[in-house]
Structure 1
């Protein structure tokens, strides 16, 4: 790949569209759509001050949100953004934010809100539509989701599109590159939405379409080398999942044997997973891997814990405890060898952008869905900069980008195509207290489910599949005798970004065969149920 020339974070290298989040469930989709057209984008809370940014964006998008702009506690963004002299696009709530800041009577509660599909008509001036709609039909299907609406056209703006119920469905400033649209271009229900976002980002903001994993590799390797230094050493959490494997390969390529990969066996892994991970990393990827059996410590610490958040926080803290002890051991071993001596100050994690979005409760309206063990559940000492310092090279990436990055690094499709498996492991697939017996039930049921999915040729068509255990018991009849045993829950989803998902629709006979095998082969189970819940309202994992 050659010697990287840059050593900066992505937003300092790539032209970046800043997305300010007002709490919409669709905000992450704006970023996804922009990256699909190779334009780099990052999301910040709407309450982020311009002075807090470490880069100047080439454009700003104000997201939708659940509030009304005229409410007492409604979120509003820093007015300084409007003086930054870059193009701005307000979407739904973002449109209302643009109008409201000019006059508080511009936005009112709508008497006829719009929810779902709508038809907009772009207006022509001198025979031309506005450049936001350039190359598109005058009449388009869009997705609306709003109760409030503009009561007045803000001073300095003109209308560029309308619907039957909304006169100001899209507006533009007469002299400045400031736009507002009442619909959501980021959702698939707006067929031409990605073209509208491209017109804004590329046509109006002049953002370069150079965000690719091939470009990211060299830039990130240079950043890692600069961050760690010529003698620094890094300890890395490697579970064998896609994220940690790609992060480990990237770090190994950056600093070689100064990277120490550690697999912590917390007793919550899948069937034969420890052995497979050791083979994959040491034989296939040539990464030195240390395996630590800490299962007794994790089981002891989880005893009596049923709350999902408490599980996550304990597991996150316990992981760090193990890694810090391993760092001390490695330093002592290397102390007598000048070539190896050096303090291990850094800790590598495969944190992804969806983890960050879901785990951090913004000061604005966004709410924490759940703590991820590698983000919100880290020990206080690490959050305060004490102990090992975090390195998260994948923090700005979505899952599909990580998989492409892995391919760029030469990792096989078998490894980069693996379904996600949470760091806390099977603990999140037991709806209640974790015990070795319950873990074994889930481990065996999951093995049956995944094996049959692979045999049916469905594995690569599914985003994630898993088995979980409901501690409720149900009456059954087995061998003419009454039984009272556990219920196994199966789940499989279609997803690309892991922030939204729909249930995978198996053929009924396939699920029937899976159920039969699990009941016959897994002790303690008499019933199997399949979860058809989408995300939202559910999450992919059960806890």
Structure 2
């Protein structure tokens, strides 16, 4: 979940919303856009992120996007993502075959490569041996797509099908021990395919291949820069808002704080930030937030103390989705009341990010029907819904950005490093880091334990080595012994993880002495805790948060 306090969507029949997203930038930045057609791969958005790392804008579209629609976008290149289907299955998702006649370079990745082969007259069959995990790429043609990719490079495979026969005009660029056509090309038409996933970190030559496609094959220029985004976003905000007032729900995290700075830079005193203290923040954070924004940067912030209201709303609730729902609903109630008191406002700004939209309705392709289906991992109240009668126009300048891009934007417009590099923090806060029922006692215990974690990693100067580092309180008690006396107290779970974008994550291999120090301090300093454990689960199969 984003650290933006709330991201909301009007439910009016008239759909009275205006979304400021980065998609309109592609037309203005010399039309430098690479389009990813999504066939249901878990890595589709990661491909987009990798393209953007080359400073070229990219966006994920449905595989149903027609050739004519693509022609109107005038992309510099097209990438076909992987997917869970087999191209020869009945109802498997297929792209518009006219895309091969657009004269635009195309790169097929895994399923995308197999679809290219099949649609252009080749043959794809079930492989004798499936190939999952790392494989050594043996390069047959070290030019063009594979320039500067080392022979023997490790690439990440995830497929059970293989190209039995290539279409006319194609040749093999590389193979592996199990896959005779690991990379292919039709050089004249600039059509390329790779059976592996160059976008994942396990593919050591992946970024070199992506740069080759973007720069040398698609002939793109690096126009997708932080400065270009900020300049265009400010111009677009001013053009949309005019002399109207804008309300922003501020949480103090990097997303909503970056948006606050961006809006203030664009429209100044027309912006009002509202900070609703729901009582689930970490120790001392509300006070630090208000001091920073109001005293140091003079950005208007309205503070609303609603701690008792939120705690009452989730009293006795143990189901995590119900907790999220109630917290989100109460946030809307408080927000609606306070906005009417402070208003009127014409616009509601919110810090929705690309991963928020993705995870709230993770899209896949049904291999039987080819239809996209939504599989909700967990609800994000920043992509929830406002009452139908709350008539705001919606602006979301960060909706198409990844977290690392937001940090770059924040830093470029003067956001303090303590916020720019702040670990992501969920909107419902500590309420979803306490499993089961949330009480004042448990909140105080978790605040103190979480403070110890942050103090120790800051003391060692390794705070920025982690994507997130926090504590979780379990709703059980275990027997312990302290001072020759029996204790019966809560366990604390330590969760220290590494990630690039929050979409996948791995647990951190931290030094034992750090774990020992944190554990000793928590059991000695935090009343009500007698046991500390360490979570060594990656995402997937787990999630970063426990609820």
Same fold (TM over 0.5): yes
**Does the 8 Å contact 1:249/1:285 carry over to 2?**
no
Deviations, residues 461-510 of structure 1 (Å, cap 9, x unaligned): 22211111111221212333322221111111122212222222222122
Deviation at 1:7, TM superposition (A): 10
Matched, 1:268 2:280: yes
**Does the 8 Å contact 2:22/2:400 carry over to 1?**
no
CA distance in 2, matches of 1:368, 1:7: 25
**Does the 8 Å contact 1:18/1:43 carry over to 2?**
yes
CA distance in 2, matches of 1:527, 1:9: 52
**Does the 8 Å contact 2:256/2:350 carry over to 1?**
yes
CA distance in 2, matches of 1:41, 1:367: 24
Cα gap change, 1:112 to 1:365, in 2 (>3 Å): farther
Cα gap change, 1:174 to 1:417, in 2 (>3 Å): closer
CA distance in 2, matches of 1:475, 1:145: 45
Cα gap change, 1:408 to 1:117, in 2 (>3 Å): same
1:236 aligns to what? 248
2:118 aligns to what? 100
Name whichever of 242-251 and 305-314 sits farther off. 305-314
Deviation at 1:135, TM superposition (A): 4.1
Deviation at 1:220, TM superposition (A): 0.5
CA distance in 1, matches of 2:119, 2:378: 33
Moved over 6 A (4+): 51-54
CA distance in 1, matches of 2:100, 2:436: 49
Name whichever of 283-292 and 322-331 sits farther off. 322-331
Alignment: residue pair count: 517
CA distance in 2, matches of 1:324, 1:51: 43
Q: Choose the corresponding residue for 2:197, options 177, 180, 184.
A: 184
Higher relative contact order (CA 8 A, sep 6+): 2
CA distance in 1, matches of 2:449, 2:411: 31
2:345 aligns to what? 344
**Does the 8 Å contact 1:303/1:435 carry over to 2?**
yes
SS in 1 for 2:227: helix
For residues 297-336 of structure 1, what are the structure 2 equivalents within 5 Å?
Answer: 297-331=309-343
Cα gap change, 1:311 to 1:52, in 2 (>3 Å): farther
Q: Scaled by the length of structure 2, what TM-score is found? A: 0.89
CA distance in 2, matches of 1:508, 1:292: 42
2:87 aligns to what? 69
Deviations, residues 74-97 of structure 1 (Å, cap 9, x unaligned): 333344544443211100111112
**Does the 8 Å contact 1:264/1:292 carry over to 2?**
yes
Deviations, residues 194-237 of structure 1 (Å, cap 9, x unaligned): 11111111111122112111111111111111122x22111101
CA distance in 2, matches of 1:50, 1:475: 65
SS in 2 for 1:260: strand
SS in 2 for 1:9: helix
1:39 aligns to what? 56
1:57 aligns to what? 75
Name whichever of 46-55 and 241-250 sits farther off. 46-55
CA distance in 2, matches of 1:190, 1:130: 18
Deviations, residues 29-69 of structure 1 (Å, cap 9, x unaligned): 21222122111111233345567778332211111122222
Q: Choose the corresponding residue for 1:221, options 231, 234, 244.
A: 234
2:456 aligns to what? 452
Q: What 5-or-longer segments of structure 2 have no aligned partner?
A: 1-20, 364-370
**Does the 8 Å contact 1:225/1:255 carry over to 2?**
yes
Matched, 1:428 2:421: no
C-alpha RMSD of matched pairs (Å): 2.3
Deviation at 1:320, TM superposition (A): 2.6
SS in 1 for 2:347: strand
Matched, 1:364 2:372: yes
Q: Choose the corresponding residue for 1:408, options 403, 412, 415.
A: 412
CA distance in 2, matches of 1:405, 1:506: 30
For residues 369-518 of structure 1, what are the structure 2 equivalents within 5 Å?
Answer: 369-375=377-383, 377-379=384-386, 381=388, 387-518=391-522
Q: What 5-or-longer segments of structure 1 have no aligned partner?
A: 1-5, 332-342
CA distance in 2, matches of 1:324, 1:416: 29
Cα gap change, 1:174 to 1:463, in 2 (>3 Å): closer
Q: Choose the corresponding residue for 1:542, options 533, 542, 546.
A: 546
Cα gap change, 1:312 to 1:72, in 2 (>3 Å): farther
Name whichever of 145-154 and 72-81 sits farther off. 72-81
CA distance in 1, matches of 2:387, 2:192: 42
